[in-house]
Structure 1
Amino acid sequence: MKSKRLLTALLSTVLIFSLSRAMATNVMVLESTPSDLLKKGQILTLKFGAIDLGNKKLVLAPKQEVKVIQCDSKILTLTRNNPKLPKLSQSTCNKLFALLSLDDFRPTQLPDGEDRGDDNTPWTLWMINISKSATYCVRHQKPELWRPETKRQAAKFSITHGEQSVTETWEAEKGLLRWPFEKISISDGGKYTVQLGNDEPKTLTLRLLPKRSTDAQKMMWMAENDCLDQARRLFKTGDWDE
């Protein structure tokens, strides 16, 4: 299987995606001993108890070891005597493998201040873009609603969810609006109709992100719950908003 290399951002946690094939498992390198044995972020294929490295096989010496992570976020250490890993199911990894095939990943520095977004992109991956009907993964903390630069005139803004509804004025020049928790609660999988001024109503499907400790775990959950755009952004920049 052809080896693939992903260029990651300046993350404290290296992220992993892999796809299970018959008798093979893809993993990503977190660190190796010695440190120059393999590069962080490098993809290895474990097949028939051996480590495939591109077109050659890697045989670890007695004092060499490689710490790797699978797409289910399990971290394991490979040694000379234990190069085998359990085979993962296709259903666990197939959505994440789609991210591996993207060719637009480039090294991305963590943003600062005004560089956190642009006129057409939410400033953090957790902001909800009210101009686009989509599924958004949100954290339990109070999420924020975001609108593009071209939509920042003073306008009435409404949210409807079942029998709950709220309308308020979104002031001119303001890109963000706090979610009105006191009037509309957020439920996992809930569908919310939003409308800004006379624009066409949009439907937001919200998924509540479980409490996870690593970017890899967050990304896997988001990819499995139709938040691929957010998962891609998390891969490129890390969760620097936390």
Structure 2
Amino acid sequence: MLSLRFIFLFMLYCYLGKSFAHDREQITPVTVQNPQPLWLAEKFESRRRGLEEIPPNIWAINISRQHNFCYSTPEKIVLWLPEEQRSGQMDRLIIKDGKTQQAIKLRWLANETALAWPTERLPLQPDHTYIITLSGSFSENKIVVHQIPIGNQTVAEQAEWMNRHGCDSQAEMLLKEQPA
């Protein structure tokens, strides 16, 4: 007579095997007191690696990842987080200057899509690393900021400078914004 546990595992195997068979990269085979594998689903990410939401403008810092960020003037800079990573309520941020260790806390209201860089509380310094932590997150994202020199007047010069400093996606956005 088949045990209740075996029947449950078999039904689970059949259900998960059919439900997730289309995407084997997101399932892991596990054997449970049985030579036949039991497929357990891993956490499903709604978006594939390499695809990410694009910030609303060239001067928006995506705080969900570590990267280099280039800017012309600090007053234009805003902080931005992809919608699916927002809590839907008020988020809290901690921004720390990696060089001086000065840290500030900010509140980000749910109805705001972007948050202005707090220039009065934490002046932006060229070539500094800023460590940004979102409340409820265990990860810190390091953003290295680079100020575009005033001598780079044309869009092509600015884009080339941005590429050299690791701001490739911003350079691409800058070139796309310009009329052909």
Regarding TM over 0.5, the answer is yes
| Secondary structure in 2 matching 1:166 | strand
- Is the contact made by 2:66 and 2:143 (CA closer than 8 Å) also made in structure 1? yes
Give the equivalent residue in structure 1 for 2:175: 235
Seen in structure 2, the aligned counterparts of structure 1 residues 146 and 220 have a Cα distance that, compared at 3 Å, is same
Give the equivalent residue in structure 2 for 1:185: 123
Q: Deviations over 1:34-89 (max 9, x none)?
A: xxxxxxxxxxxxxxxxxxxxxxxxxxxxxxxxxxxxxxxxxxxxxxxxxxxxxxxx
- Once the two structures are TM-superposed, the CA of residue 221 in structure 1 deviates from its matched residue by 0.7
Give the equivalent residue in structure 2 for 1:165: 103
In 2: Cα distance, 1:237 partner to 1:140 partner? 18
- Once the two structures are TM-superposed, the CA of residue 237 in structure 1 deviates from its matched residue by 2.5
Q: What letter is aligned with 1:208? A: Q
Q: What letter is aligned with 1:225? A: H
Unpaired stretches in structure 2, ≥5 consecutive residues: 1-51
- Once the two structures are TM-superposed, the CA of residue 151 in structure 1 deviates from its matched residue by 2.6
- Is the contact made by 2:74 and 2:117 (CA closer than 8 Å) also made in structure 1? no
Q: Deviations over 1:7-53 (max 9, x none)?
A: xxxxxxxxxxxxxxxxxxxxxxxxxxxxxxxxxxxxxxxxxxxxxxx
- Is the contact made by 1:166 and 1:184 (CA closer than 8 Å) also made in structure 2? yes
Give the equivalent residue in structure 2 for 1:67: none
Structure 2 length as normaliser, TM-score?
0.62
Instruction: Tell me the matched-pair count.
Output: 121
**Correspondence for 2:84 among 150, 155, 161:** 150
**Correspondence for 2:132 among 176, 194, 206:** 194
Q: What letter is aligned with 1:192? A: Y
**Correspondence for 1:223 among 147, 163, 176:** 163
- Once the two structures are TM-superposed, the CA of residue 238 in structure 1 deviates from its matched residue by 2.5
| Secondary structure in 2 matching 1:189 | coil
Unpaired stretches in structure 1, ≥5 consecutive residues: 1-118
Q: Work out whether 1:121 is the aligned partner of 2:54.
A: yes
Identity %: 26
RMSD of aligned Cα (Å)? 1.8
In 2: Cα distance, 1:238 partner to 1:131 partner? 27
Q: What letter is aligned with 2:92? A: K
| Secondary structure in 1 matching 2:171 | helix
**Stretches of 4+ moved more than 3 A in 1?**
none
- Once the two structures are TM-superposed, the CA of residue 146 in structure 1 deviates from its matched residue by 0.9
Structure with higher Rg: it is 2
| Secondary structure in 2 matching 1:124 | coil
Q: Which has the higher helix share?
A: 2
- Is the contact made by 1:164 and 1:183 (CA closer than 8 Å) also made in structure 2? no
**Counterparts in 2 of 1:80-159, with a 5 A limit?**
120-142=53-75, 143-152=77-86, 153=88, 154-159=90-95
